[in-house]
Amino acid sequence: MVTYYFEKYGLALGKEKESKFNLFADYLLSENLKYNLTAVRDFDGVIVRHFVDSAVILNYVDFPAGACILDIGSGAGFPAVPLAIMREDLNFTCLDSSAKKINFIKNAVSLLGLNNLDYICGRAEDFSRRAVGDTHLAPSVPTITSVNTLKEGGFDFAVSRAVSRLNILCELAAPVLKLGGIFCAYKSKAADAELRECGLAFKLLGLELVNNIKLELEGEERAFILVKKVRETPGNTRVISRRLVRARCDFSTAFYYSS
């Protein structure tokens, strides 16, 4: 079943990857009974709506080997875990404010034997503010030095699915990207409307639209909006607006699927 759906969307799986996806689906579904990690509760749904939906970006975006990729608001590991299974040559960091979800990812990483995925529990706005040198953060706010990525000038890519509106995501992603780095937002049919809200955010944050890719997954509209960091993010963290303080998970996974 896993191979059927992946191949339907042009993604080749060997035996090893297939068995990792089967293992991950079983683990997600069993832990979901205890911890309510996802609204998707059937095996086929997990394969299509989580795994293929996460991985299909590989048909459209060329991630060079060795790239460091931050998944903002990764929840139970989407899109980072399927991408890490598909591409062992890329380095992923999952960031989520929910300790329950990060703990799930930690156990999944060990179960699947993934050597290319790190995880951090914290709020994305705290990381973004630290990345632009905000010194007013409480010492308890963790850093991303576990992967040394910020020290080296930031991530090559950031990805995010079903977390927030695009303009808010841009404010979170820009500071943690290196110059020339790309933010890939997984969106559904609201993509164009969200893009229209981003003019000021792009200007203030030094971002530029690279591509707005449209596709269909099992009859539902999907979009990958690719945004490039073309200038350094201003150190003045007032750019990271008050909206961020209030920003919460305002786009549920259910919204992402049904919209």
Amino acid letter for position 201: A
Q: Which of residues 205-244 bind ligand SAM (CB under 6 A)?
A: none
**Contact call for residue 154 and ligand SAM (CB under 6 A):** no
DSSP for 76-91, written as a single string: TTTTHHHHHHH-TTSE
Helix (H), strand (E) at residue 164: none
Q: Is the dihedral of CA 55, 56, 57, 63 positive or negative?
A: positive
Task: Quote the least distance from Cβ 64 to ligand SAM, whole Å.
Answer: 23
* Stretch of residues binding ligand SAM (CB under 6 A), selected from 85-93, 141-149, 201-209, 247-255: 247-255
Residue from 46, 70, 120, 163 touching ligand SAM (CB under 6 A): that is 163
**Contact call for residue 74 and ligand SAM (CB under 6 A):** yes
* Stretch of residues binding ligand SAM (CB under 6 A), selected from 60-68, 85-93, 94-102, 105-113: 94-102
Task: Quote the least distance from Cβ 255 to ligand SAM, whole Å.
Answer: 8
Task: Quote the least distance from Cβ 18 to ligand SAM, whole Å.
Answer: 21
Task: Quote the least distance from Cβ 15 to ligand SAM, whole Å.
Answer: 26
**Contact call for residue 78 and ligand SAM (CB under 6 A):** yes
* Stretch of residues binding ligand SAM (CB under 6 A), selected from 7-15, 107-115, 119-127, 225-233: 119-127
The CA distance from 207 to 231, in Å, is 7
The CA distance from 217 to 176, in Å, is 30
- Short-list 119, 116, 68, 130, CA closest to 96: 119
Give the SS3 label for residue 152: coil
State which residue, 123 or 229, has the beta carbon closest to ligand SAM: 123
State which residue, 217 or 230, has the beta carbon closest to ligand SAM: 217
Give me the phi and psi of 143, to 5 degrees please: -105, 170
State which residue, 12 or 30, has the beta carbon closest to ligand SAM: 30
* Stretch of residues binding ligand SAM (CB under 6 A), selected from 24-32, 132-140, 187-195, 246-254: 246-254
The CA distance from 186 to 123, in Å, is 19
C-alpha separations of 123 from 156, 163, 205, 256 in Å: 20, 12, 19, 21
